[in-house]
Structure 1
Amino acid sequence: MHSLLVIEPAGTENPAEARSSGSPDSILSSCGYVVGTAASPEQAAPLIGDADAFILNLPVTDISSWRALLVRHKVAPVLWWCTPLTSTLSVSACGDDIMVDGILSPAMKSPEIHWMLHFSSRQCFERKQWLKEREQLLSRIEERKWIDMAKGILSQAKKISESEAYDLLRKQAMNERKRIVDVATSIVKVYQMLQDQT
């Protein structure tokens, strides 16, 4: 991890914090990272592609909207820069569904920052893998639903068992060189269309 994009809307930086070099860009730069900053989606857009992680120096209530905007363009870890200014609403926002891969603060030392960035990277890509697997499972469940409906229709129409109906579906799929779910979907849709007409 080398390049970071800090999101810090204009006017939110604490002048005293900036003077004491407590701003995220100065702290992260001193740890050896290349840091870009943006105050708006327009400023962030050209910097997203090069960023290895996104650091949100924002109130908790703004995290979800910025996170959605950033990960729509690139999957990368999103970390919250927690300071007294950004955490003032944290208690009231605890119930919100806020997803971050890690939390950084100005009090962290360089090794802690490095560790948290690597930890958040792992969290991000594990979540990406989990979401992909979840999507595949939901797809399989949906396919199974179509197949079960088609088996029910065939067993009722042909007066055969569901296992025989499945064998019939499988044989038809092989003959047509299609997936079983595609044949099942066709059967269910034709059946529903015929039912609507009667």
Structure 2
Amino acid sequence: MKSILVVEEGRPPVSMHSLQQNCRTFHRVANEDEAKGFISVADAAVMHVPLERMQHWQSAIAGMKRLPTLWLCSEKAVPGEIDFGFMLDGVLFSSMNTLEMGVALKWGQRVFLQRKRWAEEREQLLQRIDERKWIDQAKAVLCEIKGITEAEAYDFLRKQAMNERKRIGDIAASIVKVYQLIHG
């Protein structure tokens, strides 16, 4: 990692030597205003905050920039089974040596990238479902108005999309919206 943003709120400073050895630049911040100053250059965020403040900080950092988020745990007793309630890509401990810290950071980055890909795939699938709904509604409208079969209605939509150089879902949505406007 090139640059790590370390949020230290409400925690006494701990040795960050192992963490510093795994990046070129290292920025310590204590509040959101300070974080805004360094977020543009950060490749990861390490939260050294109480567990009850993690959700606040994760939301604040995610609102500024999407990047791997790790928690530097210095709790006396590490919580066993908890539902964090926020996106966390990894957990670090100040007792980790440089190699362990490096592996944990790389793992956190990998988890972040995988989560990002899943979110993108989810968004694409939701768009496809939405497009499919418009297409099905448009086919029904075309069948009713033109007195054609569903297959013929789909062919009509496909040809119209090619002629107008638009996506079939956009053509279908336009047809349904005009129909609703006229018959609504």
Judge same fold: TM > 0.5, yes or no. yes
1:136 corresponds in structure 2 to: 124
> 1:13 is aligned with what amino acid?
R
> 1:25 is aligned with what amino acid?
M
Q: Give me the CA root mean square deviation.
A: 2.1
Instruction: Please state whether the residue corresponding to 2:45 is helix, strand or coil.
Output: strand
Equivalent residue in structure 2 for 1:154, among 128, 131, 142: 142
Equivalent residue in structure 2 for 1:47, among 38, 55, 60: 38
Identity of matched residues, %: 41
Equivalent residue in structure 1 for 2:52, among 38, 47, 61: 61
| Distance of 2:88 and 2:168 partners within structure 1 | 40
| Distance of 1:85 and 1:49 partners within structure 2 | 33
| Distance of 1:153 and 1:109 partners within structure 2 | 66
Unmatched tracts of structure 2, length 5 or more: none
2:6 corresponds in structure 1 to: 6
| Distance of 2:181 and 2:77 partners within structure 1 | 56
| Distance of 1:177 and 1:47 partners within structure 2 | 43
1:82 corresponds in structure 2 to: 73
Equivalent residue in structure 2 for 1:119, among 90, 107, 131: 107
Instruction: Please state whether the residue corresponding to 2:88 is helix, strand or coil.
Output: coil
Give the direction of change, closer, same or farther, for the CA distance of 1:71–1:47 in structure 2 (3 Å limit): same
Cα deviation, residue 148, structure 1: 0.6
TM-score, normalised on structure 1?
Answer: 0.82
Unmatched tracts of structure 1, length 5 or more: none
**Residues matched between the structures, number:** 183
Cα distance per residue 1:59-95 (max 9 Å; x no partner): 22322221222233333211001112695xx46x924
Equivalent residue in structure 2 for 1:163, among 127, 151, 154: 151
Conserved in 1, the CA contact under 8 Å of 2:46 and 2:72? yes
Instruction: Please state whether the residue corresponding to 1:81 is helix, strand or coil.
Output: strand
Conserved in 2, the CA contact under 8 Å of 1:25 and 1:37? no
Instruction: Please state whether the residue corresponding to 1:178 is helix, strand or coil.
Output: coil
2:28 corresponds in structure 1 to: 37
Give the direction of change, closer, same or farther, for the CA distance of 1:64–1:24 in structure 2 (3 Å limit): farther
Give the direction of change, closer, same or farther, for the CA distance of 1:95–1:116 in structure 2 (3 Å limit): closer
